[in-house]
Structure 1
Amino acid sequence: MNSVRVVQVSKQVPIYSRDTSDIIPFINTWLSGRDERFRRKVVKIFEGAGVDRRFGIMDIEEVFMATSFEEKNAIYAREAKILGKKALVKALAKANWQSESLDFIIAVSCTGIMIPSLDAYLVDTVGLKQNIVRLPVTEMGCAAGVSGLIYAANFLRANPGKRAAVVAVESPTATFQLNDFSMANMVSAAIFGDGAACVLLSSESDSQGPKVIGEEMYHFKDATHLMGFDLTNTGLKMILDPAVPQVIAEHFPKIVHPFLQKFDSNIEKVNHLIFHPGGRKIVQTVEELFGKLGKNIDDTREVLRAYGNMSSVTVLYVLERFLEKDIEPGEQGMVLSFGPGFSAQRVLLEW
């Protein structure tokens, strides 16, 4: 069968960044009119979120200004084009690929609305060929980075000798709701950050990088209420059910073991866990589950600490860390992320 390899990963952060300790005074000012206990609780959420620093497409003063959905989305669209282009150009340079050599481009984003989608702009700004196949992936949230890898792998497996790029750009900052004092808004504000990444994959016989052994999606039944956005007049309003870590824990054996078995593998054979850092609680839940199996997700925790949860982009930052390591041939890695639907997306790699 035609093999697919992950050739290169590049990341791109926006120009603004803040340490969490620098954000606390803004939180205090924002919540100064609220109940004192509530304000203290929110500050504790920020301090305990496991995020030391995050990047943003706008400066923090702008985040806390009352602007319309239209204005925030315009910033998102403008910056997404810049970040997407930089991430793609960087990846192409690292792989020594010409931009016209791409056959398939997948643009992943859920934190703003653009029609035409980001990939259409990249055709022009990066100089992609006119018969390139485009696929925008928009409503899959945090899982969409892995969704993009799955679609690319399927396309490439069916088309030998081709090249694909997955470009993910997210700005949860642009979805922050100034007048939403729900716990979902507080928790998402505490864990999310902005960023972009690009993954290059190939079905050429001489391509280098870990091989995609298999990929699969897992859909939780009757769980559409757990995570997502409500589209309101002020923008995209976060839905985040506190039951998410528990639901993941309950389904965990069904998510991991049958998938690995299907591709003649098992958890003992999987040396590397490339897991999306949804937030501190989800990281702890998965860490306990994998810890019992003698595995660690240190790279996941480190990406959360340094960048926050950048929705679909985040797992690709974790993947980049593994591509930069000196991994022995034959070792396996499992890419895993969760997102609205509710769903778990998995990709099995072999070096």
Structure 2
Amino acid sequence: MSVKIQTVAKALPAYTRSTAEILPFLDIWLNGQEERFIRKVKKIFENAGVDNRYAIMGPQEVFTRTSFEEKNNIYMREAIALGRTCLQGALQKVGLQGTDIDYIITVSCTGIMIPSLDAYLINELQLRQDIVRLPVTEMGCAAGVSGIIYARRMLQANPGKRAAVIAVESPTATFQLDDFSMANIVSAAIFGDGAACVILSSYENDSGPEIIADEMYHFYDADYLMGFQLSNTGLKMVLDIEVPEKIEAHFGDIVHPFLEKHHLTIADINHLIFHPGGKKIISLVEELFRNMGKKLDDTKEVLRMYGNMSSATVLYVLERFLEQSLPKGDKGLMLSFGPGFSAQRILLQW
């Protein structure tokens, strides 16, 4: 059963600041720290490859001492608003109504809410009462691609159906005011908030790139690399310095066997739809791809314009490709990494 990606629509929070505008807040936050350390932190922000970022709260609120409960309440309120906006935007792009959606998959890892986001969207948009729900909470940056994989599996078994995958993330809600570790600092330097919705279809006559294949790849003994520690002050970032090294070590096993199963090589791939995890990871993967004649220009541009929005970010990259008139037969490789440690892959054909 053919499954196609019909459209992607994004939604951005109200607050936005350039990196230059955030630097003065770092002076306040780092007051009392050694001057050498302060210069190092500023350099991390300046060299992160992020010119601008959006957030569900202003910088004054981000750098103010608030409880986990207070920040999570903001996350819940804004997640519902952003989820509604991007779902409505996606529906409008392809001329659909909310009742045309048979499956709703919501992904997020930067806050906690029960009922999950999908329940609120069903109520607010009066989606079908028999819609099938799947909330995904603990797959981090990989969840945007994971959600599409789950949707495809559902639609493959059910012709004439549609699914909405909605990713809403607010890494700024996880910022730790009293944590001066490199994990917290790097996270603050590269992450931003945002949301996106993908609509997929198993209707024969619907248009869009077809998902030819999908697959997950799980690293053994690497669960320490990335994730969140649930602390009294909220979700505390875990980000090990070994992440780029591990990706490099496994990269060949992640890409080549997956393509070979479908009688392809990297030379057959026209478009790379890669999650912008951060400047260091992008540079690493771009160097690996450059030897194969490939580039990650769209990935770098999304990082520059918005920062890393966890699971939603790769969907922003995907949207850039869907907005182009690409030749029939072109192939694209979607790739993202997340806690576990894992890699998620999707093969597309226009």
> When the two structures are superposed, what TM-score results if normalisation uses the length of structure 2?
1.00
Match for residue 84 of structure 2? 85
Residue aligned with 2:104, SS:
strand
Find out whether 1:282 has 2:281 as its counterpart: yes
Q: Distance in 2 between the 1:345 and 1:152 partners?
A: 14
Match for residue 331 of structure 2? 332
Instruction: Give 1:246 shift.
Output: 0.9
Residues 97-246 of structure 1: pairs in structure 2 closer than 5 A: 97-246=96-245
Residue aligned with 1:329, SS:
coil
Residue aligned with 1:268, SS:
helix
* CA RMSD between the two structures: 0.5
Given residue 215 of structure 1, which amino acid in structure 2 is its aligned partner?
D
**Alpha-carbon displacement from aligned partner over 1:253-276 (angstroms, at most 9, x marks no partner):** 000000111122221110000000
**Alpha-carbon displacement from aligned partner over 1:86-140 (angstroms, at most 9, x marks no partner):** 0000000101111101000000100000001000101011111000000001000
Unaligned runs of 5+ in 2: none
Instruction: Flag as ranges the 4+ runs of structure 1 deviating above 3 A.
Output: none
Residue aligned with 2:212, SS:
strand
**Alpha-carbon displacement from aligned partner over 1:286-307 (angstroms, at most 9, x marks no partner):** 1001011000000000000000
Match for residue 315 of structure 1? 314
Find out whether 1:342 has 2:320 as its counterpart: no
**Alpha-carbon displacement from aligned partner over 1:12-52 (angstroms, at most 9, x marks no partner):** 10000000000001011110111111111000000000000
Match for residue 253 of structure 2? 254
Match for residue 42 of structure 1? 41
Q: Distance in 1 between the 2:109 and 2:126 partners?
A: 24
Q: Select between 97-106 and 257-266 the one with higher mean Cα deviation.
A: 257-266
Q: Distance in 1 between the 2:34 and 2:225 partners?
A: 27
Given residue 247 of structure 1, which amino acid in structure 2 is its aligned partner?
K
Unaligned runs of 5+ in 1: none
Residue aligned with 1:336, SS:
strand
Aligned residue pairs total: 350
Match for residue 31 of structure 2? 32
Residue aligned with 1:134, SS:
strand
> When the two structures are superposed, what TM-score results if normalisation uses the length of structure 1?
0.99
Residue aligned with 1:199, SS:
strand
Residue aligned with 1:136, SS:
strand
Residue aligned with 2:267, SS:
coil
Q: Distance in 2 between the 1:101 and 1:187 partners?
A: 41
